[in-house]
Amino acid sequence: MNWNWDHVDEFMPLFWDGLELTLKALLFGSLIAFSLGLVWAVAQRSAKKWIRWPVTVVTEFIRNTPLLVQLFFLFYVVPEWGPSMSPLTTGIVGLGLHYSTYTSEVYRAGIEGVPAGQWEAATALSLSKRRTWTSVILPQAVRRVIPALGNYVIVMLKESPQMAAIGALDMLGQAQNYSQTTFTFEAISVVGVAFIVIAYPASLLLRVLERRLVR
């Protein structure tokens, strides 16, 4: 054992910078995942085949390929055709897009959980399609799925270090940089512990939330 606490002290300022970037990516990534996921879920229930099919194919493709390769794709291929994005932006878009396909399944389950009588009631009241979705179905569906969505925020937190591979200085990116320039190894342990310290209480909190919202 040749652990040196001085390296930990030296790394801490960089760690806080990394944490800030991780949390930023998590916040904006989840916003994209939550809103885009809902779009996928509603589109997949569309009566029109030409909407349903492409959405199914695209979401299945994204869900069944690795986030890491998608990040590489967004970072190296997309700029050839259009805008080039910073590593952080690429990370946010990648995380959001990837996990939107997961949250869409969550929404789908939530929507299917709304009793069929609610759809019939909306038809009986001759509500428009838009009113049916916004005033009857979605308010009931979204409440049930909040804990499951929260679960995916934790998943996204754990997958966010993959951003480091395209040069985003998140917690892992900072640790990697520090370790490589100083030839030390303590920084990665600090980051590993940080994940447990953040993710475990968060999942306990979610359990409480789940008990409150889903009876």
Binding site for other proteins (CB under 8 A): 1-3, 56-57, 60-61, 63-70, 72-73, 76-77, 80, 102, 105-106, 108-110, 112-113, 144-145, 147-148, 151-152, 154-155, 157-162, 164-165, 171-172, 175-176, 179, 185-186, 188-189, 191-192, 195-196, 199-200, 203
> Shortest Cβ distance from residue 170 to other proteins (Å)?
10
**Residue closer to other proteins (CB basis): 131 or 207:** 207
> Shortest Cβ distance from residue 209 to other proteins (Å)?
12
**Residue closer to other proteins (CB basis): 127 or 195:** 195
**Residue closer to other proteins (CB basis): 27 or 125:** 27
**Residue closer to other proteins (CB basis): 41 or 92:** 41
User: Do residues 44 and 104 make contact, with C-beta atoms less than 8 angstroms apart?
Assistant: yes
> Shortest Cβ distance from residue 71 to other proteins (Å)?
10
> Shortest Cβ distance from residue 158 to other proteins (Å)?
4
> Shortest Cβ distance from residue 68 to other proteins (Å)?
4
CA-wise closest residue to 40 among 98, 107, 93: 107
**Residue closer to other proteins (CB basis): 127 or 165:** 165
